[in-house]
Each structure stands twice: as C-alpha cells, then as structure tokens.
Chains A and B, each alone.
Chain A
Amino acid sequence: MELFLQQVLNGLTLGGIYGLIALGLTLVYGIMSVPNFAHGAFYMVGAFAAFLLTTRLGFGYWSAMVVAALCTALLAVLSERLVFYPLRNAPELSPMIAAIGLMLFLEAGAQAIWGADFHHMSGPWSGVLNIGGIVAPIQRLLIIGGAFGLMLALELFLHHTAPGSTILAVAQNREGAALMGIDPHRVEMLTYAISGALAAVAAALYAPINLVYPAMGQLVILKAFVIIILGGMGSVRGAIIGGLIIGLAESFGAFYVSSDYEDLIAFALLIVILSLRPQGLFATKLRTS
C-alpha cells in the first residue's frame, strides 16, 4: 500500500510538470494552430535561466523562478514576432519546419554558450517529510502544489478576466473576435508569453530533482505533444487531465513493468489510444488540420 501511494505521489509530480508544459503548448495551438516544436527548448532555456540566476547571480530560488519566467516569456514573444508571425499565411508545413529550426537553434545555442554538461540546481528545501510511511521529499510536494495551483490560477485567468477571455475568444473564432475589437496579434503575443512563462516555471520547479542540460527539452516536448493529442488540441482541461494520465502511467509503469522502457510508455499509450479512438480521448469532433 505504501509503495502504491509512493507511486501516486511520483505520478502526481510528473503529471504536474507535464501538465504545465502541455498547457502552454495547447494554448498556442488553440490560437495559431502551430505545433510549437520549440516549446521544449523554451523549457530548457527557462531551466538554464533559473540555474544561472541562482548559481552565478545570487538570486533566491523564488525570485530566480520569476525572473526566468519573464526571460522565457520574452523569448517566446520574440519568436512569435520573428518566426511565427511572418509565416502566418504560409502553407501548413512552413511554421512546422520553422519551429523545428528554432528548437535546434536554441539547443545548439545553449550548447555553444553553456556546454553540453549536466548541471544540478538545488531547491529551497531539501528535506523529506514522512507521512505514514510515505517518503515525500518537500520539493515534490512543492511541485505538486505549485503546478496545480498555477493551473487553477490559469483557469481563473482565462475564464474570469478580460485578457484571459480574449484568448478564449480568439481561439474560438479569430475573425469574430477581431470584429469585437480584439486585436488578435496582441492576443497571440500574450499567449506566447504565457506559454513561455509556464514552461519556465515548470522547469524551475522540476530542476532541483532533475538535471539541467541543453537536450533536456527533447523528451519532454514529445510527451507534452502526446498529452495534448490525448486531451484534444487546444483544450486546457484536456491538457491537465492528459498530463496526469501520462504522469501516473509512467510512474506505475516504471515501477511495475520496467524502468528501462519508462520513456516508451507515453508513446505506446498514444499509439494504442489513437488506434482505438483517432479523435483522442476527450475531443468529440473529428480531427482536421
């Protein structure tokens, strides 16, 4: 029983991180229909920013997280302006290829500047709580609390504030929103900023129990894509639930099946689900590009 709950705790940790990353991806997809392959690189840049701020510039953990989120948001907005905005009327293939180009550019850039080494970043609290036999490192509880708190905040922001509603409006109907006086370009920039900030926060939360290196975003971005396909592209709740499904499946799979193939579980799940239900778990309408 304790082992089971331990896996639940690990699954929630992973699910929280995956959910935050998938949320940014799904928001951008909802607005611009671009699968942003560079999103994993944003996550990596966020991690490096937090790492460098704490180790080189003497920032505290939380202030580093905030500044890293701002930097990554700026990077995301810049890529929207310089890469995705000029390609908005190009054939579908172009922004996809451009996103991959951006991803490889950021990874190669990070490697050129900071080297390919693995770095370790320490968290604010390294202690361990022992609740009825379950060993819960405080950082993991922090991740779960932070990630799900942020998801709740985002949900409130989208549904109960004017800027948040403009994002939903543009996602639903771009022209209609423009006729109502919403500037879609500003909404696009806002969406990219949010997606970058969410990726950076996820990175800063996860970094103390993980490693920081230039290729760290590759696997994560694939899993985030699996999640938003499962949850339905553009769906916020789908991303959160999908994140939990993948997080728990990996945690249990690694424990009960094989940790060698832990990373395969998400993809195997994707293939099984898409074979049975091509429209995803939660989406109701058929997928057309």
Chain B
Amino acid sequence: MTYARRLAWPAVLALGIVLPLALHNDYLLTVMSTAFIFALATIGMNLLTGYTGQFNLAHGGFFAVGAYTVGVLTVDHLWPFWLAFGAAGLVAIVLGLAIGPLSLRLRGNYFAIFTLCVGYIMFLVIEKWDSVTHGVVGIIGIPSPPAIGPVSFDSPRALYYLTLAFLALGMWLMQRIVNSLVGYTFIAVRNSEPLAQALGINLMVTKVSAFLISVCYASFAGGLYAGAVRFLGPDLAAIDHTFDMTMYMVVGGVGTLAGPLIGALAVPWVTENLQFLQNYRFVVFGPLLIALLIFVPNGLVGLWQAIWARRAARAERSAQASRTVSGEPHA
C-alpha cells in the first residue's frame, strides 16, 4: 500500500506528460490547460478552507486580481510577462496582508460573509476603475508567456506543459506544507481553536499565514490565466468562479490533498461532455452539489477511503475468523 502510494503521484504526473501525445486536438489541450490553472487556484483555496477551516469567498477575487496585475502591467506598461507574473504574487501578498488580519478577526460564518463582501468590492473596483482596468471593455491582447531558454509557449501544447509544470510545482509545495509542522498547526486551528491556542499556537499568525499562501496560489493561477487566455473581463471576479472552485473542492473532498485536484479535473471534463448546459450548468450543478453535501460529504476521496477502510476491515475479520477456526488463540 505504501509502495503504491509512493508511486501514485509520479504515475499521475507521467500520465499528464504523455496525455498530449494521445490527444491530437488543440481544443482539448486548451481545455486541459484551463482546468490545470483552476486546479492550482482550488488547491490554494483548499489550504485555507479545507485545512484551516476558513471559507474565503474572495478567493476568486484574488484570482482576478492576479490576472489583472499581469494584464495591466504587460499591456499598458509593457512589462515583460514573467516580471508581471512575479508582481501578481507580490500584489496578492500586499492585499492579503491588508485584508487577512482584518477579516480573520471574525470567525466562521462572519468570515465567510465578510470575504463575500470583499470579493464583491474587488469586482466593483475592477469594473468601475476604467483608467486602470479598462472597465467593462476588459483587457485584450495580453502577450503569451515568452520563451524560457529554448522552450516557447505560443502553441496550445507548450501552454499545456507550462500549466502542468506549475500545477505539479503547486501540488509538490502543498504536499510539503500540509505534512510539515506548519501544516499541522493549520489543521489544529481547524479542529479546535481553543485547543490550538492552549498548545501555544498563535491563532492570528497561523490563520494569516494560511490566508497569504492561499491567495498567492489564487493570484499566480490568475497570472497564468491571463497569459493562457490572453483576454480579461470584469466577470472574472464574479462570485461564480469562487463557487466553481468550491464545487471542485467539495466534489473531490474538502481538506484532502488529492481532492481539489480530482474535482478540478473531473468537473470540467463532465461539463465539456454536457456542452448544451453551458449557460444553465448551475441548474444541474446546484442540486448536484447539495446532494453531494448531504450524501457524500467527504467527496470522491472520502468515498474511496471509506471503501478501502471497509475492505480492510473485512479482510481483518476473515483473517480473524480463519484463525479462530484453526484453533489458534488471537490477541
């Protein structure tokens, strides 16, 4: 089992690398790249929501801020793409330092409602601040990421590998974070704030750290989105994207490492096969999500774990039974 587990991630990555060789379809590659970008943002959301227990409804707003940072800097100020991409992270940290400590003074529902309002303010500012964000017109003609050495990113296939690389990096980093002492303090805060505090964990510092890492993921994902899609409109900051990411997280399994990734890749794949739903997808996904919350609260990963646990228990029981039949004493 541990052997299989150790091989699981490299196997998934290998699958991601060979997939374009099987797919001779630029459209599907683009769909996959976009899914990778949103997966990256969802992984970040999961750190704050799943592992630390704070539901940040401005997450999509930070995604849009990252995208607009890249868009504005490259198109209007002619910055090189990668410099603007770095700036997206910086902007997220500065905004996060302003918003995080303020919003994290509130708990549970209040935090969610407060960040919902913050997200709406981000949307309004992006929509109304014509001189910087071009308002409802949006930003057109964002350059695609320039070549790093001999590798250029102007074909869908190259873009696929670029987003895959960032996603792999993001997953690797996240795995390091949640399995570190810092990650354990996040989980401790989620499980019980008073207990965490009694153990000497500084709640505010812990929550703000999780918040900053989380919004950086969103902002970098947004920056990638700007380079990949090359067009931005204020709708990017609408609550819909935050909700999409929440849905990916719930489908896959909240507070698990693989859950957000599975959800973020599986749901767009389903949507792709239900094209006629495009505009009305929430007519189906709304009730589906509610049903998932009620009947499969731990998502696909939780379902998988439950099946494994049951199988293991059954194996244990039959092993025990055979021991009793053969007359051996058991401990």
A→B interface (CB under 8 Å): 29, 33, 35, 37, 82-83, 86-87, 90-94, 96-98, 100-109, 111-112, 218-219, 222, 225-226, 229, 233, 260-261, 263-264, 267-268, 270-271, 274-275, 278, 287-289
Contacts and interface: CB of A to CB of B under 8 A. Distances in A.
19 contacts: A83-B290, A87-B293, A90-B293, A92-B108, A93-B53, A96-B109, A97-B289, A101-B243, A101-B285, A101-B290, A102-B290, A108-B279, A111-B279, A264-B124, A267-B117, A268-B121, A271-B102, A274-B105, A287-B106
Given A102-B290, A222-B116, A278-B105, A289 B110 contact: yes
A289 B289 contact: no
B109 to A, nearest CB: 5
Nearest to B57: A100
Given A102-B290, A264-B124, A289 B283 contact: no
A287 B110 contact: yes
A204 B243 CA distance: 29
Given A104-B243, A260-B128, A267-B120, A98 B282 contact: no
Contacts of B323: none
A226 B106 CA distance: 14
Interface in B80-106: 102, 105-106
B95 to A, nearest CB: 13
B294 A108 contact: no
A87 B250 CA distance: 14
B280 A111 contact: yes
B200 to A, nearest CB: 21
Given A101-B287, A274-B106, A263 B280 contact: no
A33 to B, nearest CB: 7
Interface residues of B, number: 41
Most buried by A among B102, B105, B114, B279: B114
A231 to B, nearest CB: 13
Interface of B: 49, 53, 55, 102, 105-110, 112-114, 116-118, 120-121, 124-125, 128, 239-240, 243, 246-247, 250, 254, 279-283, 285-287, 289-290, 293-294, 297
B109 A33 contact: yes
A268 B124 CA distance: 12
Nearest to A258: B128
Contact of B254 (A87, A93, A260): A93
Given A267-B120, A287-B106, A287-B110, A94 B293 contact: yes
A101 B289 contact: yes
Contacts of A97: 55, 246, 250, 289, 293
Contacts of A108: 279-283, 286
Given A103-B286, A271-B117, 8 more contacts: A35-B109, A101-B247, A101-B285, A108-B282, A219-B120, A263-B124, A289-B107, A289-B110
A109 B108 CA distance: 29
Contacts of B116: 37, 222, 225
B286 A289 contact: no
A87 B243 contact: no
